[in-house]
Every structure is written in structure tokens, then in C-alpha cells.
């Protein structure tokens, strides 16, 4: 089994430094390494095709896991509905994605240090 951290970015605005927004993640375990093009789902959670895969290994802590990225989301309007930044973030949280912040990184460090 492999620890897998899937990440996605939701854009809010673009300025001279690039896109600003929030990162989200989902942790799962797979019996095989993830690969580009793979779509994943669990009970209630889904991700689009994986665009990149990276193996993370820390010899000092013993952490070993994959990080994967999926396509970023940007606010849009469709059929009279405004899918703004807040809507997209709330939708991600409702779909079991978690905010990727300092607390999340600490949680991931604790989870991925334990061998499966």
C-alpha cells in the first residue's frame, strides 16, 4: 500500500505575481503507485485525471508517499450561475477535500511517517 496525497489549486485572482488562491488535498492509500491520467474516487470523493506524480521520501523521518496534482479550478459563469471562488472552495470542502495549510502539512507528516 502507498500513501497518496492528491492536491488541487483553486484560483481566486491573478495579479503581477501570478495566480492567488487556496490549495486543497485529499489523503488516501492505494495498493499500487498512482500514475498520470489516473482518476480516483472513494465514497463521496472524486478527483479528475492526475496531471503529475511525485515520490516524496525523507530518510531522516522515514516518510514515504506520493503527491499528485490535478487540474486547477478557476471561477467561471455558466448558464446564469456564478461559480465564484467561495463557491468553488465550499464545494471542494463539501466533497471531502481539505484545506492544505500548515495544520494539514503537520497532519500529513504524522500520517505518512507510519508505514502501511
Q: What is the mean pLDDT of each run of 10 residues along the chain (116 residues)?
A: 96 76 96 97 93 90 90 90 93 96 91 78
pTM (predicted TM-score) = 0.88
CA distance 5 to 23: 12
pLDDT at residue 77 in the model? 87
What's the confidence (pLDDT) of residue 15?
66
Expressed as residue numbers, the domain containing 54 is 2-112
DSSP state of 57: E
**H/E run at residue 21:** strand 18-30
User: How distant, in Å, are the alpha carbons of 4, 48, 60, 68 from that of 71?
Assistant: 17, 7, 32, 10
pLDDT, residue 21, reads 94
Cell, residue 65: 508517499
pLDDT at 80: 85
Domain tally for the chain? 1
Amino acid at each position: 500500500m502507498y500513501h497518496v496525497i492528491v492536491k488541487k489549486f483553486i484560483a481566486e485572482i491573478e495579479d503581477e505575481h501570478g495566480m492567488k488562491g487556496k490549495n486543497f488535498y485529499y489523503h488516501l492509500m492505494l495498493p499500487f503507485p498512482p500514475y498520470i491520467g489516473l482518476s480516483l474516487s472513494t465514497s463521496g470523493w472524486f478527483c479528475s485525471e492526475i496531471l503529475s506524480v511525485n515520490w516524496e521520501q525523507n530518510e531522516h523521518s522515514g516518510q514515504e508517499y506520493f503527491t499528485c496534482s490535478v487540474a486547477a479550478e478557476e471561477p467561471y459563469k455558466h448558464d446564469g450561475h456564478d461559480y465564484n471562488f467561495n463557491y468553488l472552495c465550499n464545494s471542494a470542502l463539501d466533497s471531502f477535500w481539505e484545506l492544505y495549510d500548515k495544520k494539514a502539512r503537520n497532519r500529513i507528516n504524522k500520517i505518512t511517517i507510519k508505514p502501511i
